[in-house]
Amino acid sequence: MAGLYFEEFQDQQIFDHALSRTVTEMDNVLFSSLTMNPQPLHLDAEFAAKTEFGRPLVNSLFTLGLLIGMTVGETTLGTTIANLGMREVAFPKPVFHGDTIRARSTVVGRRESRSRADAGLIEFRHEAINQRGEVVAVCIRAALMKKKPG
């Protein structure tokens, strides 16, 4: 499904996104390495085994990126102008290798752009949910969206 235009979003509209993804050890190691994050809690199984978690944690920024990525196809694919920012980012539960993540988005705000007649702002509440139904990540994201052409 292509993304929606500003006018096609409704207040409190909910998207239970079709995509889901099982997070692998390779995802975590590559992401942590590519972003130069040497935190042993993500990369060192022996170190992580001695923590309260007992095993490596998935890098939270990978989880956030995965969450946003899973929402694009049904909301903003090809219709967004810019991602304006995220706030109220939280990780209420840890993500581990082997967890399967799905996403839910709710439109929590919408308004016409004050500076662009061809655009409007949509605020989404994005939630990442694991296979046990636990919310593992949440954020409010503001997106500058195209209006329908013509």
pLDDT of residue 2: 84
pTM of the model: 0.94
* From the candidate CATH numbers 3.40.50.920, 1.25.40.10, 3.40.50.620, 3.10.129.10, the one assigned to the domain spanning 6-146: 3.10.129.10
Q: What is the largest CA-CA distance in the chain?
A: 60
Average pLDDT in the 120-141 region?
A: 98
End-to-end CA distance of the chain: 21
Contacts of 85 (CB under 8 A, 6+ apart): 141, 142
- Give how far the C-alpha of residue 53 lies from the chain's centroid of Cα atoms, to the nearest Å: 23
| Distance of alpha carbon 60 from alpha carbon 108, whole angstroms | 23
pLDDT digits 0-9 by tens, 70-112: 999 999 999 999 999 999 999 999 999 999 999 999 999 999 9
**What tokens does 3 get?**
């993304």
How many other CB atoms sit within 10 Å of the CB of residue 97? 17
| Distance of alpha carbon 120 from alpha carbon 102, whole angstroms | 27
**Residues of the chain above pLDDT 90, percent:** 97
- Positive or negative torsion for Cα 67, 107, 113, 147: positive
